[in-house]
Structure 1
Amino acid sequence: MWCGAGNAVRGLAAAACAAGLLTGCGQGGGEGEARASGTPSASASASGEKAARAVGSVGRAGSACELPVTFALAERWHPDAVSLGADADPPLDEEVAEEVAALARQGYVTLACELDAKPAGHIGFLRVYTGEPGDADARQVLEAFLRAEDGVEEAEYRSFRSGPLSGTEVQYRHTVEVLDETRTERALAVVAPDGPVVLQLGGLDDEEHRDMLPAYELAKQTLRVTARR
């Protein structure tokens, strides 16, 4: 499975994977093993009968990913900040750093954090993208995000609220040519004082996507602007 976002250059994506700059990389045959051996999470599967159990939060200062928003972290999901470009470890030269950073940019936002579902027994990520403050509203941010993604169709947009935050959500079908498959994905966007934020939920296939929805819904329902210090 290649990593990166939008119209990423495959060779650079492979280099970024090899360097460990993007964590959703090189799963290969390990995906089947994760499906077979993973421990079920507290989330419901397709029935949606149970909500995900929160075990802390992501986004505040000192958390795994410091973001313009905070939201609840579902049980057994593992968050990791994504280091790209000049911030990568080990450091990259300037030209490569710029190219690698471009891999993770979609429209107004750039990949900043990945929540890995494998410890919860699922194969997929909830990815968080952030951007600089600007004039675009949540709908415009989300539309630009999808325009940067190849193979998107059947996009259905809707508005939502989470506490004082209002945003836009989209469900769509995404065809991944390199894997020759089409699957359902979701994303949402809000605009915080420190900039826009997009949360995107994919998954290995439609079944995994459904199984991970409770964690996504938990994040959506608990979105709040990060308190400034």
Structure 2
Amino acid sequence: MPERAPIRTAVPATLMAAGLLLTGCGTPAADVETPAAPAGGGSKSAAPASTAPAAGAAAAAGSIGGAGTACVLPVAFGLAKDWKPKAVEAPEDPDFAELTRQGPATVRCEVDAKPAGNIGYLRVWTAPAGPARAALEGFVKAEKGSKGAVYREAKAGALPAVEVTYAVYSEIMEETKEERAFAVATAKGTVIVHLGGLDSEEHRQMLPAYELAKTSLKVS
């Protein structure tokens, strides 16, 4: 696995002060396309996330989700080295509580990549019980600026899953960036694991940690 790139310093101060926390949550979304397969061509700025190269999974250096871990969740999965998990508690103030929701989902845990050398988070969201795809579609549509969503059947550990790659326009960075997520249905509700990032370059560098979460996932 190639050596991690150092964290870039040319980042807007307002973004760093916010810790990248839940950017765009609870805000109106652009229409999300759902083609049956990735579309070819198009401009560089509108390229869908599915153009990113495939990445292998990182080696596990810990886990979250199970009893006694930083985030107790309906599922558990492996953590890449130096990624730091933290449970997200819903604020009492209803105005701030809106920032913890996106579509049908509420964020429960975020895993910070900065100690590992990247700017971004792997976040775990939960939604009421129901079809995983419906929850994932609602989640993507609720993200401001989302477009070009491509959904596909997948596996998360031994569980059936739905995965999506899509693009989001970042008003802060003034560019389109790649994002992806997968969802699984459990007896305790739907779980969505999402990977964003400061920009597409950071996103791609963090894919091994995302793949580790997907391949190692199990019901906790």
Establish whether residue 85 from structure 1 lines up as the match of residue 85 from structure 2: no
Q: Residue 70 of structure 1 aligns with which residue?
A: 76
In the TM superposition, what whole-angstrom CA distance separates every residue of 1:142-165 from its partner, at most 9, and x where no partner exists?
Answer: 000011111111111111113431
In structure 1, distance between residues paired with 2:113 and 2:182: 18
Q: Does 1:4 align with 2:10?
A: no
Q: Aligned partners of 1:170 and 1:152: how far apart in 2? A: 12
Partners in 2 of 1:208 and 1:7 — Cα distance?
20
1:85 is paired with a residue whose SS is coil
2:127–2:135 CA contact under 8 A, matched in 1: no
User: 1:109 maps to which residue?
Assistant: 105
Mapped to 2, the partners of 1:47 and 1:188 lie a distance apart of 15
Confirm whether residue 125 of structure 1 aligns to residue 121 of structure 2: yes
Q: Distance in 2 between matches of 1:69 and 1:142?
A: 16
> Which residue in the other structure is 1:217 paired with?
211
Whole-Å separation in 2 of the counterparts to 1:47 and 1:108: 29
Q: Per-residue CA shift, 1:59-82, capped at 9, x if unaligned?
A: 001100000100011111000011
> Paired residues, what number?
177
Q: Partners in 1 of 2:114 and 2:25 — Cα distance?
A: 26
Could you tell me how far 1:178 is from its partner in structure 2? 3.6
Deviation at 1:176, TM superposition (A): 1.7
Tell me which of 169, 172, 175 is aligned to 1:175.
Answer: 169
TM-score w.r.t. structure 1 length? 0.72
Consecutive unaligned residues in structure 2, runs of 5 or more: 1-14, 28-52
Deviation at 1:47, TM superposition (A): 7.8
What is the CA distance between 1:6 and its match in structure 2? 4.1
CA contact (8 A) 1:5 1:105 kept: no
> Structure 1 residues 119, 184: CA separation in 2 closer, same or farther (over 3 Å shift)?
same
Q: How many Å separate the matches in 2 of 1:124 and 1:6?
A: 14
Which is worse superposed, 121-130 or 178-187?
178-187
In 2: Cα distance, 1:166 partner to 1:204 partner: 29
Query: Displaced runs of 4+ in structure 1, greater than 2 A?
Result: 2-9
Higher RCO structure (Cα 8 Å, ≥6 apart): 2
Residue 29 of structure 1 is matched in structure 2 by: none
The question of whether the paired residues in 1 share the 8 Å contact of 2:64 and 2:79 is answered with yes
Cα distance in structure 1, aligned partners of 2:94 and 2:163:
30
Residues 47 and 7 (structure 1), Cα distance of their counterparts in 2 relative to 1, 3 Å cut: closer
Q: Cα offset for 1:58?
A: 0.5
Check the 8 A contact 1:173/1:182 in 2, yes or no: yes
Overall identity of the aligned pairs, in %: 49
Say what the alpha-carbon RMSD is for the aligned residues.
1.8
One-letter amino acid matched to 1:115: V
Provide the rounded CA distance (Å) in 1 between the counterparts of 2:57 and 2:215: 11
TM-score normalised by length of structure 2: 0.75
From the superposition, tell whether residues 51 and 143 of structure 1 become closer, same or farther in structure 2 (CA, over 3 Å). Answer: closer
Q: Structure 2 CA distance, aligned partners of 1:185 and 1:69? A: 21
Query: What is the aligned partner in structure 1 of residue 181 from structure 2?
Result: 187
